[in-house]
Amino acid sequence: MHQHKQVTLENGLRIITVPQNSTQAVTVLVLVATGSKYESRKINGISHFLEHMFFKGTEKRPDKLDIAETLDKIGGIYNAFTGEDYTGYFAKVAAEKFDLALDWVSDIYLNSLLPEKEAKREKGVIIEEINMLYDNPMSRVGLLWNHLLYGDQPAGRDIAGTKESVSAITRNALLNYMESQYVAGNTVVCVAGRIDGEEMIQKIKKYFAKISVASPIEKPKVIEKQTRPAVLLDYRKTDQTHLCFGGRGHNIFHPDKYAQDVLGVILGGMMSSRLFIEVREKLGVAYYVRTSVDANPDTGFLMSQAGVDNRNIEKAVATIMREYRKISKEKVPPAELQKSKDHIKGKMALLLEASDELAAFYGIQELMEKQVLTLKEVYNKIDSVSQEDILRVAKDIFQTKNINLAMVGPFRNKKTFEKILLQK
């Protein structure tokens, strides 16, 4: 297991180092606690827009080509991502090049110039990204799921924003948002891989010395309100209907978070899971069917997703519903429970062989929960999940009033599907 070290500087910047001798790589990951849940309707998409703009030039690397070539020249892997609660920037390089990676990540994070002409051009790029997600029913249904659960509040809006909101964002708005959110108290720097932890902390201190210490804006509270099952249909003339189907669940701080994870795997997290067997193997009506669990600081859900032949959509929804009801009434057999726990642990062990996954594992925990569990501690939490826990969590999540179904396909009549959702 890995020995991580964590320090918080006087200015509030948190640094985590995770030495890993079994690799030739180093990943530098910088995370900031800001994302689409922090945005008003007017500036919806600004976190994501800003993430794009960090690749457009700094004083030291004035052009987007300079930014890209720095790491292209050494075969580095680099990228950024925006979520609802956080944004991240990373570079993964051969261990002997880690100084360059640290210099590059800190440079774009602290010194981006946000050139006006690049901002105008990038709007076109982001609008094409929005179009791409809209045109792809599999992506589109995931966005609809959030709209269905949270409606017209930041948690219910798209991370990329809308064409209108993105078009209206000014350079000044980008600058103000960056100055407000990209501050020491909101930032975690996590470095994992073939490193000397002590030496690395000194280097990070040096590179991040000029980070601002302003106070960031708070995230508005998410309102969860549901009294009956809900269906949202997006009519499209497609050959296949894509659906997201599940229930409101527990957030990241809830004691049942790990039981919720195990429940998700039992239902649809592997090829021998219940929904894969029932919907794909037995019925043969879907190519992909999977269940995911999403637990954030203020929201959580368990949701199954599938692409189904239009003629068999009612059968598929009824089958998934039947499995939800069954797992809420009958205890999971011990062997199936054990298999699902071992699956989660085995998958984590494989993932965390890579320095970028290791950096994210420690960094995101610290940023979101302000505490870090080691892999062994997480394993213990998973091991302690009982049959009774699974039953209780399933009963809670799959209460009729909690259930939601979002679909993209050639259907306009909600009533047919509402009827299935109400079946006991």
User: Known catalytic residues?
Assistant: 51
Q: Evaluate whether 283 touches 316 at the Cβ level (below 8 Å).
A: yes
Query: Among positive and negative, which fits the CA dihedral 322, 259, 276, 336?
Result: negative
Burial class (CB in 10 A: 0-12, 13-18, 19+), 128: exposed
DSSP state of 134: H
CA-CA distance, 190 to 178, in Å (whole number)?
Answer: 20
Residue 345, C-beta contacts closer than 8 angstroms, at least 6 positions apart: 379, 382
> Could you tell me where the DSSP H helices lie in 191-333?
197-207, 257-268, 274-275, 313-329
**By three-state DSSP, how is residue 23 classified?**
coil
Burial class (CB in 10 A: 0-12, 13-18, 19+), 363: buried
Paired tokens of 112: 């981006």
If you search the block for the tokens 């990676």, which residue do you land on? 101
Q: Evaluate whether 240 touches 409 at the Cβ level (below 8 Å).
A: yes
